[in-house]
Amino acid sequence: MKRLLIVWHSMTGGSEQMACAAATAARAGGEVDVRLQRAGDTSGDDVLAADGYLFVTPENLASMAGLMKDFFDRIYYAALERINGRPYAILICAGSDGTGTVRQIQRIATGLRLREVAPAVIVNTAAQTPEAILAAKTIAEHELQRCRDVGAGLAAGLAAGVF
């Protein structure tokens, strides 16, 4: 059975809801082993053992969250040249932007010779004030559906061997 590794970090819950939605949809077909793991708990061996990846992170200070960057820093050389051509997709939770984080992850994934197989999803929570930014997030149903679509698509592609 092919394995999909969903690596996520979240501070106020938005990215976590997005990752969980994608995981639920990916598991629905029952054809793929879906691992949903916090970035801080994910090792190079976890990356090598997977056949495809979904990276889920907030945008913080115009880049990915520090713990997501820590994940890439830790696994990069363990994975380099050993995961060439494997498929991946990106989900970003941001206040109002998210594009810098998408570009940053795409650059790292290009270095790892991964293949992006779905357009990146950016969910904007419209948090602007310090209070709103630090508040727990509730991601709207239509945004969660976009995340489910990516999770289901990754799982279906892995199961069918099209990636």
Site for ligand FMN in 105-134 (CB under 6 A): 125, 127, 133
- Residue 127: helix, strand or coil by DSSP? coil
Our finding on whether 13 is near ligand FMN (CB under 6 A) is yes
Q: Residue 94 CB, nearest distance to ligand FMN (Å)? A: 3
Residue 1 is a binding residue for ligand FMN (CB under 6 A): no
Q: Which amino acid is at 123?
A: V
Rounded Cα distance between 95 and 65, Å, is 13
User: Can you tell me the distance from the alpha carbon of 71 to that of 86, in angstroms, rounded to the nearest whole number?
Assistant: 18
Q: Of 86 and 137, which has the nearer Cβ to ligand FMN?
A: 137
CB atoms closer than 10 angstroms to residue 19: 26
Using CB under 6 A, pick the residue from 91, 94, 114, 155 that binds ligand FMN. Answer: 94
| Gap between the Cα atoms of 149 and 25, Å rounded | 7
Site string for ligand FMN, 26-65 (x = CB under 6 A): --------------------------------xxxxx---
Q: Pairing state of beta strands 121-124 and 87-94?
A: parallel
Instruction: Kindly state whether residue 147 participates in binding ligand FMN, applying the rule CB under 6 A.
Output: no
